[in-house]
Amino acid sequence: MDPVILTLNRWQARRFEWGVFDCALAVADWVQERVGRDPAEGLRLTYRSAGECERETRFFTDPLRVFGQRMDAVGLVRTADPGRGDIGLLLVGLDGVMLPHAALCIGDGLWGIKVEGGAMELTPLKVLAAWAVPQ
């Protein structure tokens, strides 16, 4: 079966938990499976809420810095043309609030993200940055 579909199914089944399995850590797991290095090394279990995530990482106020540094550290290269299996940092409106989300590219402009209710496919308001992931 397609690894992207398998991953999104796992995201749907697994409980969202800040610092354990949130949008960024779900994507970090995907990257680790593909490249053998964990972009979230040293970050897991260091926060337990959105507020603690912001204090620890500044993900909500400077997402490109924290996310980009971690992807660069594991050797991923930015791409202007993300395809199926690549990852990105999106600006997404959920419940009337615009927030950054780490995401997995499904293809054709669609992305999968881990949210508190499971996983969802969406077309983002804006792709802030994307990284090519070896397949």
CA angle 129, 92, 75 (to 5 degrees): 25
- The proportion of the chain whose per-residue pLDDT surpasses 90, expressed as a percent, equals 85
* pLDDT reading at 73 higher than 80: yes
Question: What are the structural domains of the chain?
Answer: 3-132 (3.90.1720)
pLDDT at 95: 76
Residue 39 DSSP code: T
Is 106 in contact with 84 (CB distance < 8 Å)? yes
Radius of gyration of the chain (CA): 13
Instruction: Please name the amino acid found at residue 69.
Output: Q
Distances in Å between the Cα of 94 and the Cα atoms of 18, 76, 123, 126 are 17, 28, 12, 13
* pLDDT reading at 81 higher than 90: yes
Q: Which residue has the tokens 């540094």?
A: 69
Is 127 in contact with 106 (CB distance < 8 Å)? no
Instruction: Please name the amino acid found at residue 119.
Output: A
Instruction: Please name the amino acid found at residue 64.
Output: L
Phi, psi of 20 (to 5 degrees): -120, -50
The mean pLDDT of 5-10, rounded to a whole number, is: 95
* pLDDT reading at 119 higher than 90: no
